[in-house]
Structure 1
């Protein structure tokens, strides 16, 4: 089979994750365990088809990623020491899935979210777009990452424009770390710290204040 022209390949590479995240995956109606398995399988296949370059074993990726993740974790910990901030976190609605906190933090966030998204976007899509388009490919990769969160935002009742903007900005930051280190490991550690901290900090705050969670 002849190779697709570079631009056509880039269009397909952008479209597939968007269709997966906003259409196909929600249509499957899977529980959290099924979504984690499906996301990981899709990401692995996508990276194989489009020749992803994660470079997971990079020593610099580990160093930079651990440092970035430690800074974020320290920020969450510091926030919990401030009574007003701790109260704010405690008052947030509990959006946790129907699994234990340990399973959520140890499996579904690292595999279903971080591994899957970093392999698709930082390891595969953005490098492909940069090869095809140059520097504009970086911006398009970040925007694609933001647009992939449209349906998740709707399902959670979050404002779609704000969610797209924030996740696109995060994607651009993650891509900066990937370019700086030549590895997807660095943004993966930062991504993990942000998501795990955001998920667990409200639960820790409620434990510290003795409050019951508000469930949406």
Structure 2
């Protein structure tokens, strides 16, 4: 019975994000709402344990996020590194940057994905051999269709998000809370979304 539960917990997110959600052909706000609805149902079905209000989760998460933001600040300060975000296209075509940063990244992406993977799938797989790797690979495969839709190379995207999944899972384990990886995840995604505009602004100041 435990194996069936683990198999279902692994397969359902992949079916949702790579098949069902794309087939619905929803606008951005609809996708955000649908992702949260799926994450809520998934968490309840498999008994997710996010422990969102954990003090340890906030400590680990804020510390990790600070490292990420420091990295972005260094990249913006060094001209040779600042060229990298300048070459990145802004990917929020259906909404304003403010709405993208304030709603769709933290809610539709970070909250939904952390509720599914770190708050729920990780505990379900806790007794499995190689559980962190299995969960991380599932997280990587979750990004197949989003990579295709964005025109990104699929294999590098899956590998990069699998690596991120390993880090997020380890952070959840150490903090005992999904809040820690959620804050790190938010820092990475929000910082990446803001980096091109920030790089243009810094370039303008230095001219």
Q: TM-score range by the shorter chain?
A: over 0.9
Residue 207 of structure 1 deviates from its aligned partner by 3.0
For the residues of structure 1 that align with 2:88 and 2:61, how far apart are their CA atoms? Answer: 28
Aligned to 2:201: 207
Listed as ranges, the gaps of 5+ residues in structure 2 are none
| 1:157 matches 2:151 | yes
Q: 1:71 aligns with which of 60, 67, 71?
A: 67
Could you tell me which residue of structure 2 aligns to residue 100 of structure 1? 96
**Residue 146 of structure 1 pairs with residue 143 of structure 2:** no
Please state whether the residue corresponding to 1:38 is helix, strand or coil. Answer: helix
Question: Which of 173, 176, 197 pairs up with 2:191?
Answer: 197
Q: In 2, are the aligned partners of 1:54 and 1:124 still within 8 Å (CA)?
A: yes
* TM-score, length of structure 2 as denominator length: 0.95
Instruction: Give 1:56 deviation, angstroms.
Output: 0.4
Deviation at 1:101, TM superposition (A): 1.2
Q: Offset at 1:209?
A: 3.0
Which stretches of structure 1, 4 residues or longer, exceed 6 Å deviation after superposition?
none
Matched, 1:39 2:62: no
Partner in structure 2 of residue 178 of structure 1: 172
Whether 1:52 aligns to 2:48 is yes
Q: CA deviation at 1:206?
A: 2.2
Name the count of aligned residue pairs: 204
Question: Is the Cα contact below 8 Å between 1:33 and 1:108 reproduced in 2?
Answer: yes
**TM-score, structure 1 as length reference:** 0.91
Structure 1 residue ranges without an equivalent (≥5): 211-216
CA distance in 2, matches of 1:41, 1:16: 14
Residue 122 of structure 1: how far off its partner (Å) = 0.3
How large is the Cα RMSD of the aligned pairs? 1.1
Q: Which of these residues, 79, 85, 95, is aligned with residue 81 of structure 2? A: 85
> How far has the Cα of 1:156 moved from its partner?
1.1
Offset of residue 187 of structure 1: 0.3
The separation in 2 between residues aligned to 1:94 and 1:110, in whole angstroms, is 17
Equivalent position SS for 2:126:
helix
1:20 pairs with 13, 16, 19, which one? Answer: 16
Matched, 1:111 2:102: no
How far apart, in 1, do the equivalents of 2:55 and 2:17 lie? 31
